[in-house]
Structure formats: structure tokens, C-alpha cells
């Protein structure tokens, strides 16, 4: 097999070497890295071993080099920087056990670089981040990368990829980071407390991942933070640290919806009105069995996507101590469910004005016998006023 590759590499007019998913063994002939006309070298999914050619590369026409899933070892030679027309380089699934050479920074046409699942060590070279205008995909997970020299990075956006694994513990080496966007990935693990060591972040936008554990109180040190979004992770637990709510005067938005936060079964008053909270109203508020006063007005809360009914009411009916519910001035844009009539008889005031409700008023509201103040102002209510509301004694009703 090795002799076959050597013979192939000597063909002067060779343009494409595509021998994927075979049983090729031995080493890759050095002459393949000295071929002036070859454009594609694809030898992935074989059993090639040994080290790549360490000498000078001369492949001026090479566009694709795919060597993934073999048994190659040793280093990535700095000569890789000579392949200046390279677009796609994949070396994942091998046994490379050296640093990532800074000469990758010479590959100004490179769009995809896959080095994951090796034994790479050392830091990520700064030169890689000089390829921001061309590099679209960079995968270096499942290695032994350590250290950090990317001290000038301001914005890191990894939105809508297939990134897995945790946020690195040493993320605080991005000492100038102002914005981190990682929405719609499969990032797991806990939120690193080391994020709190960076003084510059303004936006931590991290929804729709698989983060677990508690929200670290160290995030309360981010004095410039404007947006904190760890919504739709489903696995965050514990309480929202007081340091985040009370210490960050610049904070405009907190979104921690669809998690398991708020294990505060003795909570009697929850006042989050007049902020810039975004997301949906949690469907487990009814677990706060001692809750008496709920203030969520003046935010940017909205209904669950693709749902019509305001389903959070189904949970609120379990709060049998509830007296005041204030949800006015949000973006709920939904339909009042009939379950609203199952709210506790202890409710005295219910405010849900200016939330873009477009529905009939459920007749079941007449079941809330103890209510004294009922406000639906500024909505798009339809139909007639139910006679059951008229029969509520000692109540003030606003439409």
C-alpha cells in the first residue's frame, strides 16, 4: 500500500488523490507534500501511521488536505504554513502530540480547520485568530490544550454550531472580552466562576445549551454587564445570586427562563417588576407554595413560542397563598385560559393590563370570590363582559 502511494505521488499531472475509507497502511510519502500540481489529498479513514513529512512543503496548488481518522503521530510541521492556498485542513482523530504551530496564521484562505481528538498541547496560537475574515469552522476539542495568549479578543461568537463540552475553566485569560455569544449549541458542564475575574464583559448570551449546576455568585463582580442570558438550559439549579441582582447597576436584562432555579419554597414575596427581564414566565411558579405577592410587571416577558394560552396560569393555581399578582406591561400576547378561575380564593388584586391579550374573558374568573381589584386595561379583549364578573361583590374591575 505504501508503495502504491509513493508511485501515485510521482505522477506529474496528479490533481486529486482521494482514497478514503480503505485499509491503507504505512506512512504518507514525503513526495506528496512536494507536488506542485496536486489540489486535493484525501486519505481519511485509513490506517496510515508514522509522522507527517517534517521537511519543507511545496504544494502551491493544494486546496484540501484531509487526513482524519488515521494513526498519525508526532508534530504538525511548521511547513504547513507554506500551503498558502489551503482551504480545508482536517487532522482530527489521530495521535498528534505537539503544539499547534503558529504558521497556521499564514493560511489566509483557510475556511475549515479540524484538529479535534488528538493529543495537542500548549496554547492556541494568536495567529489563528488573525484568520477571522476567512476561518468559518475551528474544532480543537478533545485535546490537552492549556494556557492562553489571546489577551486582545473582544468578541467571541460561536452561535449555532455543534460545540460540545464545558466552557474552559481558564476562560478568564480572555482579559479584554466584552461579548460572549454561544447560543444554540450543546455546551455542557457548569458556568465557570472564573468568568467573574474578567472586568470587561457586557454581554453573556448563552441560551439553548446544556449547562448544569448553579449560577456562580462571582458573576456579580461583572460591573459592566448589560445582558445575562442562560435561558433554556433546563438544568441550572439553586437560586439567582443576590450579587447579580443588586450589585450590577448596568444590568439591563436577565434571562434564566426554563431552568430549575428558585428552590425557595418559603418565599413569600417575589418582586422583579420594572426591570428588563426577557423570556417566558416559568411554568413552575406554583412550587412556591408560600408565595403571597408576585410582581413581574414592567418587563419584556412573553408567551411560550407556538402556544396560544398563557399556560403559566396552570401552575399558579397551586399557589394557594397568593394574594397579589402583578403582570402588567409585558409582551405576553396570548389567550387567557379557563384555569384562571382556579386561582386561590385568597387573591385580592390581579393586574394584567397592557400585555397584548387577544381573547374572550373566561367566565371562570367569577370563581375568584375574594378578589377586590381586577385590571385588564390596555388589551385587545373581545366579546362581552361575563355576568360572573358583574356579580363579584366589593370588586373594582378595569377594562
Give the model confidence (pLDDT) of 338-367 as tens digits.
888 888 888 899 999 999 988 888 888 888
DSSP per-residue string spanning 17-83:
EE--SS--EE---GGGGG-SS--EEE--SSEE-SB---S----TT--EEE--SS--EE---GGGGG-
The answer, yes or no, to whether residue 235 has pLDDT greater than 90, is no
293-295 and 324-326: which strand pairing? parallel
The answer, yes or no, to whether residue 305 has pLDDT greater than 90, is no
| Residues paired with 238 in a beta bridge | 261
How far from the centroid of its chain's Cα atoms is residue 238's Cα?
20
Instruction: Give the pLDDT of residue 5.
Output: 67
Domain 151-263 has CATH 3.40.50.2000: no
| Cα(265)–Cα(355) distance, integer angstroms | 28
Q: Which helix H or strand E contains 244, and what residues bound it?
A: helix 242-247
The answer, yes or no, to whether residue 263 has pLDDT greater than 60, is no
pLDDT band at 262 (very low <50, low <70, confident <90, very high): low
Residue among 215, 275, 263 nearest 242 (CA)? 215
Q: Which helix H or strand E contains 88, and what residues bound it?
A: strand 88-90
- Domain residue spans of the chain: 1-146, 151-263, 264-399
CATH of domain 264-399: 3.80.10.10
Instruction: Give the pLDDT of residue 240.
Output: 77
CATH of domain 1-146: 3.80.10.10
Instruction: Give the pLDDT of residue 306.
Output: 74
Q: Which residue has the higher pLDDT, 40 or 238?
A: 40
Helix (H/G/I), strand (E/B), else coil: 116: coil
What mean pLDDT is reported for the chain?
84
| Cα(89)–Cα(44) distance, integer angstroms | 11
**How far is the CA of 92 from the CAs of 71, 120, 141, in angstroms?**
10, 11, 10
Q: Which residue has the higher pLDDT, 277 or 200?
A: 200
Instruction: Give the pLDDT of residue 234.
Output: 75
Instruction: Give the pLDDT of residue 245.
Output: 67
The mean per-residue pLDDT over the stretch 169-198 comes to 86
Computed on alpha carbons and rounded to an integer, the radius of gyration of the chain in Å comes to 30
Question: pLDDT tens digits for 142-168?
Answer: 788 766 556 677 888 777 777 777 887
Instruction: Give the pLDDT of residue 151.
Output: 66
Residue among 2, 51, 39, 53 nearest 23 (CA)? 2
Whole-number percent of the chain with pLDDT over 90? 28
The answer, yes or no, to whether residue 324 has pLDDT greater than 90, is yes
Instruction: Give the pLDDT of residue 391.
Output: 67
Q: Which residue has the higher pLDDT, 4 or 352?
A: 352
Amino acid at each position: 500500500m505504501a508503495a502504491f502511494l509513493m508511485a501515485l505521488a510521482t505522477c506529474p499531472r496528479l490533481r486529486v488523490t482521494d482514497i478514503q475509507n480503505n485499509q491503507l497502511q504505512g506512512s504518507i510519502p514525503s513526495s506528496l507534500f512536494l507536488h506542485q500540481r496536486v489540489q486535493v489529498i484525501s486519505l481519511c479513514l485509513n490506517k496510515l501511521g508514522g509522522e507527517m513529512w517534517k521537511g519543507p512543503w511545496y504544494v502551491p496548488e493544494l486546496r484540501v488536505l484531509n487526513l482524519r481518522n488515521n494513526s498519525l503521530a508526532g508534530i504538525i510541521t511548521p511547513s504547513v504554513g507554506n500551503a498558502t492556498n489551503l482551504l480545508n485542513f482536517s487532522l482530527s482523530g489521530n495521535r498528534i502530540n505537539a503544539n499547534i504551530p503558529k504558521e497556521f496564521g499564514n493560511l489566509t484562505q483557510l475556511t475549515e480547520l479540524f484538529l479535534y481528538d488528538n493529543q495537542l498541547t500548549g496554547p492556541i496560537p494568536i495567529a489563528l485568530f488573525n484568520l477571522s475574515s476567512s476561518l468559518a469552522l475551528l474544532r480543537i476539542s478533545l485535546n490537552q490544550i492549556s494556557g492562553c495568549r489571546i489577551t486582545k479578543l473582544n468578541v467571541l461568537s460561536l452561535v449555532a454550531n455543534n460545540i460540545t463540552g464545558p466552557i474552559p475553566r481558564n476562560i478568564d485569560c480572555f482579559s479584554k472580552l466584552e461579548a460572549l455569544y454561544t447560543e444554540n449549541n450543546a455546551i455542557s458542564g457548569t458556568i465557570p466562576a472564573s468568568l467573574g475575574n474578567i472586568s470587561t464583559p457586557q454581554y453573556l448570551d448563552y441560551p439553548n445549551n446544556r449547562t448544569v449546576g448553579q449560577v456562580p455568585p462571582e458573576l456579580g463582580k461583572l460591573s459592566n454587564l448589560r445582558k445575562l442570558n442562560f435561558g433554556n438550559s433546563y438544568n441550572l439549579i439553586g437560586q439567582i445570586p443576590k450579587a447579580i441582582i443588586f450589585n450590577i447597576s448596568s444590568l439591563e436584562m436577565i434571562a434564566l427562563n426554563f431552568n430549575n432555579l428558585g428552590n425557595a419554597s418559603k418565599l413569600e414575596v417575589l418582586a422583579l417588576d420594572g426591570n428588563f427581564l426577557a423570556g417566558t414566565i416559568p411554568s413552575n411558579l406554583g412550587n412556591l407554595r408560600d408565595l403571597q405577592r408576585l410582581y413581574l410587571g414592567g418587563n419584556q416577558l412573553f408567551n411560550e413560542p407556538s402556544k396560544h394560552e398563557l399556560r403559566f396560569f396552570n401552575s399558579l393555581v397551586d399557589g394557594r397563598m397568593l394574594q397579589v399578582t402583578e403582570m402588567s406591561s409585558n409582551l405576553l400576547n396570548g389567550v387567557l385560559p379557563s384555569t384562571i378561575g382556579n386561582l386561590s380564593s385568597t387573591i385580592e388584586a390581579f393586574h394584567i393590563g397592557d400585555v397584548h391579550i387577544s381573547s374572550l374573558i373566561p367566565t371562570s374568573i367569577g370563581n375568584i370570590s375574594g378578589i377586590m381589584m381586577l385590571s385588564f386595561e390596555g388589551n385587545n379583549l373581545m366579546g362581552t363582559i361575563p355576568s360572573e364578573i358583574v356579580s363579584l361583590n366589593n370588586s373594582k374591575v378595569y377594562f
